[in-house]
Chains A and B, each alone.
Chain A
């Protein structure tokens, strides 16, 4: 059992939790993830590690309540326990040998982009951050990201805050203004990562994306998370989650992620017979 030490609401749907998990905290690196299981009946759901404190033995996760398990998790409070919390999983993001990097976070993806930006910035790399949101009310991690960026740019789709437009518009403008990035890291919804990759391709800028396929074990024993990269089958949980954005078959990933839509819909409304109600009710 893993104790929730801190809980903070970043916006209506996005929650930050600092979880007591000393073994995970000791080894965690940027780009790695954990799998949680909220209680005995829960499913195993992956979440990227947003931060860690090796001294305190805590790991920070930031997640959006989108379905049954994330809603159940969000319903827990400081002092409550998460049943299972396993990690760090996946290969850490490769951050060595870069001079100037553009880190792009889309929505809650900013939580995953943040540790990479932070690690790069602490290595003395010039880091430009583009954080994109649908509108002002869902902006997260503005102060945290500013603190680890050489330049921080914020965009909203509807123009309610920062610059109006998509992250790809800003990225293109920065490249055309003469910024020579030797790496772009893009983390967010699949369409956003796809379009960032399409934006950088003609310029030949190396682009890393963090993929989020459906996972069960997260240790390479089932292949549920398989993705096609450069025409080859890869297991995102052990070979990734980071991959070369110019090689990823994003359309296939989007399709595979929609496989359990019906069941997820059903589950969200499921009344548990054991408890006579929804577990989060």
Chain B
């Protein structure tokens, strides 16, 4: 009998007033019983709309059927056959606009908790099964992957499974990209990322850290080293600033800097050397997931008042509904329809306030969202000592400016065809480097498509 409850089986979470003082994971995950109960809510529709909503086409009803029957290992194998990083995507995907957005159960009531089930299956496997990953027999062909973020890791994993000798070149000292420097520990424990990367190593993938491609090696050097194809998954890490007065005052950060200090450099732990300024009152400018992450980190670092300053209304916020909900529970204060116009400093050059103006929603703009218009004379000062700019990022120009034959559009995004091939033969690209800042799962999907294209390209070349 299917479970006809209109609601998802709730997932246990840390209490908001406890968790906003620690960096431990907020969502604690399903138990076996919870997972089996939730799995029974799936109706096993014939046309499987959920699968079409998943960028890596996980065979969702199939794996859920195995969970319902208690065959967790089998369920994992089904998920892992198309998704290289299930413990990660189950946690950070915006399921409401992907698989779960298409779920029939969501028409009346809540959709099946596909993300929570995927996460359960991956965590269960990691905890209970110590199966050796078998390194596939090599086909003798070498492929280079630039960037160890979600797209690069997925591409590398898929190619390694096909027998390619894959080397990943990563600029940071730790692989993972946004999974390690951006998304905080309380949403995605770093041990999980490390374990997924260990699995890649066991597949024979060579992960080279401290390699800034464009400086230490060019794409041409990589081909000279004997690599026959390259995948560029260098992301969109270049932060934008507003260009308003006072942005160079002490206490103004990009979200990238703030999050890197905390997450990658572990500035929140006492035994690590990287300092993080202890702010009392913080304004985070922006309304995306990165803004939510920065605000929730600031709260955990001990800030008394943390404001989200966003120029549109909550309905237009690009952040996941769940993250906005979590942020509110943790005491983050939302200043909506509010736009910063100037950062104000004291005589020592430190931030003392953010001058803002109230906004009204006008006519829809080209993106279909209603354009915010400033209300004249509504300026006010928000007293803060730190301002974190989280208004978006764009692709880093380093690779495209040092590589011949790779075209980019006016936003600096690499131009690719449907096979993810750039304008240069043998060089593929995917993820945020192509789309601009998007989601982890879209980057994984792009890495997957590129791996298949690279395989086809090299087989035809032979």
**Do the beta carbons of A44 and B274 come within 8 Å of each other?**
yes
Q: How far is the CA of A29 from the CA of B239 in the complex (A)?
A: 27
With A233-B247, A274-B271 known to touch, is A23 a contact of B211 (CB < 8 Å)?
A: yes
- Cβ contact within 8 Å between A41 and B272: yes
A 83-95 to B, binary, CB cutoff 8 A, 1 in contact else 0: 1111111000000
Contact B248 A263 (CB under 8 A): no
Name the one of A87, A222, A273 contacting B239, with C-beta atoms under 8 angstroms. Answer: A222
- A86-B173, A216-B260 known; A42 vs B273 contact (CB < 8 Å): yes
State whether A259 touches B274 (Cβ < 8 A): no
Query: CB distance B216 to A220 under 8 Å?
Result: no
* A94 CB to nearest chain B CB (Å): 16
Chain A residues within 8 Å of B397, by CB: 220
Closest to B211 in A: A23
- Closest Cβ of chain A: how far from B107's Cβ, in Å? 42
Contacts of B271 in A (CB 8 A): 41, 272-274
Asked if A125 lies at the interface with its beta carbon under 8 angstroms from chain B, I say: no
| Chain B 349-366 interface mask (CB, 8 Å, partner A; 1/0) | 100000000000000000
Tell me, in angstroms, the Cα distance from A84 to B209 when the chains sit together.
Answer: 9
Looking at chain B's contact residues, the main secondary structure is loop
B400 to chain A, nearest CB (A): 13
Q: Does A100 contact B (CB under 8 A)?
A: no
> Restricting to A83-139, which residues have a CB under 8 Å from any CB of B?
83-89
Alpha-carbon separation in the docked complex, A88 to B209 (Å): 14
The answer to whether B215 and A27 touch across the interface, beta carbons within 8 angstroms, is yes
* Chain B minimum-CB-distance residue to A258: B250
Judge whether B398 and A238 touch: CB under 8 Å.
yes
Q: Pick from B243, B251, B256: contact of A222, CB below 8 A.
A: B256
Stretch at the interface among A142-150, A162-170, A223-231: A223-231
The interface bits of chain A over 30-60 (1 if a CB of B lies within 8 angstroms of the residue's CB, else 0) are 0000000100011110000000000000000
Q: Complex: how many Å from CA A267 to CA B272?
A: 9
Min C-beta distance of A43 to chain B, whole Å: 4
- A221 contacts the other chain (CB 8 A): yes
Residue B254 at the chain A interface, CB threshold 8 Å: yes
Q: Is A203 an interface residue (CB 8 A)?
A: no
- Shortest distance between the CB of B258 and any CB in chain A (Å): 9
Complex partner residue of A219 from B247, B273, B396, CB under 8 angstroms: B396
Query: Is B275 interfacial (CB 8 A cutoff)?
Result: yes
Query: How far apart are A134's CB and chain B's nearest CB, in angstroms?
Result: 27
Bound form: Cα–Cα A258–B251 in Å:
12
Give the docked Cα–Cα distance between A42 and B239 (Å).
Answer: 24
The docked-state distance in angstroms from the alpha carbon of A60 to that of B110 is 61
On whether the beta carbons of B254 and A222 are closer than 8 Å, the reply is yes
Q: Which of B127-171 contact A (CB under 8 A)?
A: 171
Question: Using Cβ atoms and an 8 Å threshold, which residues of chain B touch A272?
Answer: 271
- Shortest distance in angstroms between B72's beta carbon and chain A's nearest beta carbon? 34
Which residues A228-267 have CB closer than 8 A to chain B? 228, 233, 238, 252, 255-256, 258-260, 263-264, 267
Interface pair A260/B277, CB less than 8 Å apart:
yes
* Assembly CA distance A172 to B173 (angstroms): 45
Q: Does B270 contact A (CB under 8 A)?
A: yes
Chain B nearest Cβ from A249, distance in angstroms:
8
> Can you name 10 extra interface pairs (CB under 8 A) apart from A217-B172, A233-B241?
A43-B272, A44-B274, A83-B173, A84-B173, A86-B212, A219-B212, A220-B396, A221-B238, A223-B257, A233-B248
The interface of chain A, by Cβ under 8 A from chain B, is 23-24, 27, 37, 41-44, 68-69, 83-89, 216-217, 219-224, 226, 228, 233, 238, 252, 255-256, 258-260, 263-264, 267, 270, 272-274
Complex A-B, nearest 7 residue pairs according to Cβ-Cβ distance, in ascending order: A263-B275, A221-B237, A222-B257, A86-B210, A43-B274, A43-B273, A84-B173
Between-chain CB contacts (< 8 Å), 28 pairs: A27-B217, A41-B273, A43-B274, A43-B275, A44-B173, A44-B274, A84-B209, A86-B173, A216-B274, A217-B260, A219-B212, A219-B398, A220-B238, A220-B397, A221-B237, A221-B239, A221-B396, A222-B239, A252-B248, A256-B248, A259-B251, A259-B277, A264-B275, A270-B270, A272-B271, A273-B270, A273-B271, A274-B271
Using a CB–CB cutoff of 8 Å, the interface residues on chain B facing chain A are 171-173, 209-212, 215-217, 237-239, 241, 243, 247-248, 250-251, 253-254, 256-257, 260-261, 265, 270-277, 348-349, 396-398
